Structure 1
Amino acid sequence: MVEQARQQATPTIDDVAALAGVSRAVASRALSSEKRPVSAEKRERVLQAAAELGYRVNLLAQSLTTKTVNLIAVVVNHIHDLSDLDLFDRLLAETQAIGKQVILIRVGSVDKVEEFLRQGVAYHVDAALVFSDFADAETVRKMFRSDLVVMLNGRHDRLSPTVIPDEAMGIHQAVADAAQHGVKTAALVTGRASSLVEQARIASYLSAFSQHGIELVQTVQGDYSYQSGHAAAPAVVGFDCPDAVFCTSDAMAMGILDVCREDFPGNRPTRFRLYGFDNLSLTDFDAYPISSIGYDKADYVRQMVRFLADPTAFTPGQPPVLIPTRFVPRKTS
C-alpha cells in the first residue's frame, strides 16, 4: 500500500534529480524557462527523467523564485484587423517558445487608457508589446509598472525598444510600378489620422507620387477595415476615376475590389489599378489577388521576442529596429 501510494504521488523536483543522477539545483536549472548554466548532457538526462515521471514545473513556485510571472501583455486597439490576425499565430508561437504566455488587452481609445490609469488597473506582467496607437511608451510603463515595453506603434521614446517596418521602401516600389504602367493620377484611401505610423505612411506615398510625377486627385479616410473600403469605393472610383487607387491596408482594398468586380474581369484591371498594404495571407487566394506591400512577418516577430527573451539587448537611446518592406505584385496592378 505504501509503495502504491508513492507511485501515485505527484513527482517532485527531488524525484527528477534522483532519477537523472544530478543535484536538485542542476535539475532546477535544466527545467528553467530561462537560460541557466547546465551542460547539454545533464539537461537531456533531466528532461528524460521529467518525461518518464510525468513531472510538471510548478510555475507559481518558479515565479516566486525568479520574481517573474512569465506573462506578456499584448496591447491592441481591437483584434478584428486582418493584419493583426496574420501576426498573432506567429507571435503566440514565438512567445511560448521562450517560456512566456500572452494576455491580450484591448484599448479602443485614449479614454480607455486614462481610465486604466485612474482606476489603478494594472496587470502584473514581465513585459508588454504595444500595437495600439492610443498609448505612448511612458503611459504603458505606468499601466504595467514595467520598464520593458516594446513599442510597435511609432510612439516610442529613448527608454523603450521599438520595432517598425521601413515602409517607405515598399511604398516607393509600388508607386514606381504604377508609374511604369502609365499611371498619372491616383487616389489614396487611408486609415486612422491619429496613428503616427499612418501619418508616416501617408507622407511616404506623397513623396513617392511627387518623385514619379503622379497627381494625387483624391484622398478618402477609412479605418483599415473591409467595411470602410467598401464604403469608400463609390466616391473613389466613380465616373471620373483615377488611374490607380492606393489603400493603406489590404482589407480596405478588398472592400473596393468587391464593389468593383466588373472593372476587374479575371482580376485584371480595366479602369484603374488597385494596390493594398500589409501583404495579407488572403491576398494569395484567387479571390483577392491584390498587389500589396509587405515585410517578413517572421523576422518582425523574432525582433520583438528578442527583447522579451533578453532585455539587455536594448540600451536607452537605441534607434528603432527597422524591418525592410517590399512590393509584391499581383493581378490587380
Structure 2
Amino acid sequence: MTDLPDEKTAKAPAIPPTMDDVAALAKVSRAVVSRALSASPRPVSADKRDRVLKAAEALGYRPNLLAQSLTTKRVNLVAVVVNHIHDLSDLDLFDRLLGAIQAVGKQVLLLKVGSVDRVEEFLRDGVAHHVDAALVWSDFADAATVRRMFRSDLVVMMNGRHDALSPAVVPDEAVGIGEAVADAAAKGVRRAALVTGRASSLIEQARIASFRVAFAAHAITLEQTLQGDYSYASGHRAASAFLSGPSPDAVFCTSDAMAMGVLDACRPLFPNNRPQRFRLYGFDNLSLTDYDAYPIASIGFDKALFVEHITRLVVEPDVFVPGSPPVSVPTHFFPRATA
C-alpha cells in the first residue's frame, strides 16, 4: 500500500498568473492589459501592448476566453455558410475572405448547406456554436432563417435573400454584362448561346435577366440556353451542342469554370486560343484566366473591395441602418483572347 504524502511534504498546486499579475509586471492598468490581449479594436499604444505581451509571456499567462466572451458578449467566431466550395470562383474569394476575417481577430466556422432539407436539419437540431456574425452565400436560406440558426442579429447576406433587418453585399452585375455584350456586338455577334448555373439561385436569375436585357439592347438573338451548375464538367457537357450543329456567334457562360469546360471541349475551334467559329465569354474573372491555358474574356468585380465591405460590417455592425439597400460592388468586362 502506498503512503499518501503528509501536509509538510505535499507540494501546493501552482497558482496560475492573473491579469493583475500581468498588469503589475508591465506597470500598466488592468484595463490596458485587457485591451492589449483582446481582439477588440479598442486602442492601446504600441509601447504598452509590447510590455503587456512580454509580461504575459514571462508569467505564462493565458487569457480566459470564456470569461472574455461573457464580458464582451463576443466569441470572435464568424460563420460562413455556403452550398459548397468546389467552384473555382469560391477558392479565389474565400481565400481572401478568411485572411481578412482572421486579420481582425476572429476565426471562421465553415458550414456547408447543400439543400433546403439541410437547413431544416440545422434548425431542428440546433447549431452548436454561437457566433458574432454569419456570412451567407448559400441560396437555400433566407435572412430570417439564418438569424434563427445562429441566434444572432448580424447576418450578412450575399445570396439575394436579405430582408430589411439584414445587411447585404452584392455585385452590380448588369454593368459588366452590358460591357461584355457590347463588346460582342461591336465584333459582329448577332446570335448567342447562354450556359447558365443553378436555376434556383436568385443571383443567377438576376444574372440571366441582365443578359437578356443586354442582348435585346444590342439586337443579339439568344438562340440557345443550356442548363449547367457552374462547374467545369457542366460546361464541358454543354459544349456538345456547339460541336454537333451550327454554332452561335458567341457563347456566354455564367461562370468561368463552365467557360473553361467549353474551351477544352472545343479546343480545335480555338487555335492559339483565338475564336474560329464562335467567341467565348465567362463570368467571375478568375485568377486562372490570366494564365495562357485559359485566356477567357470575363466579367468580374474587385474581390478585395467586396471582402472589405463584408469585413467592415463584421467589425462595425452599427454602420448598417435597418432598411438600407444592399452595398453594391460594380462589375466590369475584362477582354481576353477567346473573345
TM-score by length of 2: 0.91
Query: What SS class does the counterpart of residue 124 from structure 1 fall into?
Result: coil
Root-mean-square deviation (Å): 1.9
- Per-residue deviation, residues 259-294 of structure 1 (Å, max 9, x unmatched): 000011110110100000001111111111100011
Count of residue pairs the alignment pairs up: 327
Select 2:124's aligned residue among 118, 123, 145: 118
Select 1:171's aligned residue among 177, 192, 204: 177
Aligned residue in 2 for 1:128: 134
Identity over aligned pairs, percent: 72
Aligned residue in 2 for 1:318: 324
Q: Quick one: distance in 2 between partners of 1:212 and 1:37?
A: 55
Select 2:154's aligned residue among 148, 154, 171: 148
Select 2:260's aligned residue among 254, 258, 282: 254
Select 1:297's aligned residue among 300, 303, 311: 303
Aligned residue in 2 for 1:242: 248
Alignment of 1:1-333 (within 5 A): 12-50=18-56, 55-333=61-339
Q: Aligned-pair distance for 1:305?
A: 0.9
Instruction: Point out the more displaced range, 99-108 or 38-47.
Output: 38-47
Q: Quick one: distance in 2 between partners of 1:237 and 1:138?
A: 46
Note if contact 1:116-1:122 (Cα within 8 Å) is conserved in structure 2. no
Note if contact 1:267-1:331 (Cα within 8 Å) is conserved in structure 2. yes
Q: Quick one: distance in 2 between partners of 1:97 and 1:75?
A: 19
Query: What SS class does the counterpart of residue 219 from structure 1 fall into?
Result: strand
Q: Quick one: distance in 2 between partners of 1:153 and 1:32?
A: 32
- In our comparison, the structure showing a higher alpha carbon Rg is 2
Query: What SS class does the counterpart of residue 129 from structure 1 fall into?
Result: strand
Q: Aligned-pair distance for 1:239?
A: 2.5
- Code of the aligned partner of 2:214: A
TM-score by length of 1: 0.93
Instruction: Point out the more displaced range, 134-143 or 44-53.
Output: 44-53
Note if contact 1:218-1:236 (Cα within 8 Å) is conserved in structure 2. no
Query: What SS class does the counterpart of residue 245 from structure 2 fall into?
Result: coil
Note if contact 1:187-1:236 (Cα within 8 Å) is conserved in structure 2. no
Aligned residue in 1 for 2:6: none
- Code of the aligned partner of 2:95: D
Q: Quick one: distance in 2 between partners of 1:210 and 1:52?
A: 70
- Code of the aligned partner of 1:181: K
Q: Quick one: distance in 2 between partners of 1:122 and 1:215?
A: 51
Q: Which runs of 5+ in 1 are unaligned?
A: none
Query: What SS class does the counterpart of residue 252 from structure 1 fall into?
Result: helix
- Code of the aligned partner of 1:199: Q
Q: Quick one: distance in 2 between partners of 1:97 and 1:121?
A: 25
Query: What SS class does the counterpart of residue 239 from structure 2 fall into?
Result: helix
Instruction: Point out the more displaced range, 164-173 or 57-66.
Output: 57-66
Q: Cα–Cα, structure 1 residues 79 and 20, in superposed 2: closer, same or farther, change >3 Å?
A: same
Note if contact 1:274-1:291 (Cα within 8 Å) is conserved in structure 2. yes
- Code of the aligned partner of 1:180: A
Runs of 4+ in 1 over 6 A off after TM superposition: none
